[in-house]
Amino acid sequence: MPSSRPNVVLIFSDNHPAVMMGCSGNADAHTPHLDKLAAGATRFTNAYCPNAMCSPCRASVLTGLMPSQHGLHTWLDDGEVENWPANWNAVAEFDTLPERLAAIGYDTALIGKYHLGIVETPQNGFNEWVTLQRGHFDAFENNDMIDNGKHLTWPGHMVDFFTEKAVDYVERRGDEPDTPFFLYFTQPAPLGLWPPLKGEPTNRFAEIFRDRPMDSVPREGVSSEVVEWLLVRHDEMPDDHPGYYRDVARQANDVPTIRNYFSQMAMVDDGVGQVLAALERTGQADNTLVIYTSDHGMSLGTHGFWGHGEDSWPSNCHKESHHIPLIVKPPKGSAGDGAQVIDRFAGTTDLYATILDYADAGSPAPDAARARSLRPLLEGEAVEWDDAIFMEQEETRAVRTDKWLLMRRFQCDRWPFPDALFDLEADPDERNDLSGDPAYADVIAELSARIDRFFEEHSNAQWDLWRGGKVKSNSTRPFLWKQAWGEDWAPVTAGR
């Protein structure tokens, strides 16, 4: 008989902004399966990630913690692997989501991208372990994989590989209905970056986008903040991925890249459809909590930059790179099962608490107090809810409310970064920075104090960059933190 606890399928895509779905109103997006899922589920329109880089957000969903609590402030660079201890796991010291679920009888599976440490053996309580042999890749085809201890090279598209493995896992779990499962299905696409996206698409969805003008994507000149970032990196870190950062400035307005990006999203959507169909086919759909989201968003040229929140100087927390899709479908028959759109703020850390709630696996640990279960919102309960979201991107910390977005910057003598304030009611596109207007001094003071209070509570001094803390493995701005905290400042790879 089916388990009394629901199965959990958490689908994580890579670099998928919330606006790139048909159900979000994008005319260019080909996402029929996500649109169908959203039509019978809850879509959160104000979901945001805590950091617009890959590894920090993956750490946050598994721990319920902010980057200044878990220590990952940017992507884990494969070039640093030789400096990592054997079988190093960036979140090993925490009681992660799969470990919490495994402790109460769940079978657990990672199928897709991990990007939180060494991948040779399963980490964080995962039983099934199917992943890339490295965190990054240069093409969607011909990639080295690890399939439960077996090393192999997959000649086809990696999205298809992980989809096949996820479908197989769901089908096998159907033979053991008395054991609930947690599937963390993490597609390494649409990605959005060169070299994998350079040129016109060649996958099976290429024809849909052939000759399409892609009018849903803005065309803007490269911003001065991007140019400044290239100059700073040239001066401070001339040998660190120079080609990658030059390419980031060239990708904006490149129509073949835009078409390719949308075609890779269509590949992800197709995989979502196959996994959902497998749940239906095996009779497990009714007893499964399904969540679709992304590690972070992606600016496709808005504000003059293509890429992530850290691809400008100073880093930014504009909507495009932090706004993520979030679709939640509770088990059938439970309160909140049905079509609805919720505009309350939700974050990546909330997914940790939400899954624990539905699995009856207890509450988040005290240090994950910001992780809030979304279940009361899904079920229409009158609940106190802090309608704000907090984000951090190394030297930038931000709070977003219905009315305001304040980006507050770490102050360093050599780089006196300006803060940035936007009135989201009058200026929803975040174009008019009000921080220099004395009329808004009280607003800035109030929001700054709110940011300070939040990070006083939701940070660990060891990993709080603004108080002399360090980062795990790497920073994209080590020269900034050396300037602030002395030449002895350096990233670390060990846990606490």
pLDDT tens-place string over residues 12-50: 999 999 999 999 999 999 999 999 999 999 999 999 999
Are 352 and 12 spatial neighbours (Cβ–Cβ below 8 Å)? no
Q: How far apart are CA 470 and CA 456, in angstroms?
A: 16
Task: In whole angstroms, give the CA distance from residue 31 to residue 287.
Answer: 24
Q: Where are the domains of the chain?
A: 7-387
Q: Is the pLDDT of residue 369 over 60?
A: yes
User: Residue 219 — very low, low, confident or very high, per pLDDT cuts 50/70/90?
Assistant: very high
pLDDT band at 241 (very low <50, low <70, confident <90, very high): confident
Q: What's the confidence (pLDDT) of residue 244?
A: 79
Residue pair 161/168 in contact (Cβ under 8 Å)? The answer is: no
Residue 301 reports pLDDT greater than 80: yes
For residue 325, is the peptide bond before it cis, meaning its omega torsion is within 30 degrees of 0?
A: no
Distance (Å, rounded) from C-alpha 474 to C-alpha 72? 8
What is the pLDDT at residue 115? 96
Torsion of CA 358, 342, 364, 97, to 10 degrees: 60
Residues 400-421, mean pLDDT to the nearest whole number: 97
Predicted TM-score of the model (pTM): 0.97
pLDDT band at 291 (very low <50, low <70, confident <90, very high): very high
pLDDT at residue 187 above 70?
A: yes
The pLDDT of residue 322: 98
pLDDT recorded at residue 68: 98
Classify each residue of 378-388 as buried b or exposed e, where b means 16 or more C-beta atoms within 10 Å of its C-beta.
Answer: beeeeeeeeeb
Whether residue 496 has pLDDT greater than 50 = no
Tokens in use for 193?
A: 């970056």
- Residue 114 is given by DSSP the state -
C-alpha dist (Å) from residue 487 to 50, 411, 480, 484: 28, 17, 10, 9
- Residue 1: pLDDT band by 50, 70, 90 thresholds? low
d(CA 168, CA 203): 23
pLDDT over 90 percentage in the chain: 94
Architecture category of domain 7-387 in CATH: 3-Layer(aba) Sandwich (3.40)
Confidence class for position 141, pLDDT limits 50, 70, 90: very high
Contacts of 301 (CB under 8 A, 6+ apart): 217, 218, 219, 220, 252, 253
The position carrying tokens 């925490």 is 94
pLDDT score of 495: 43
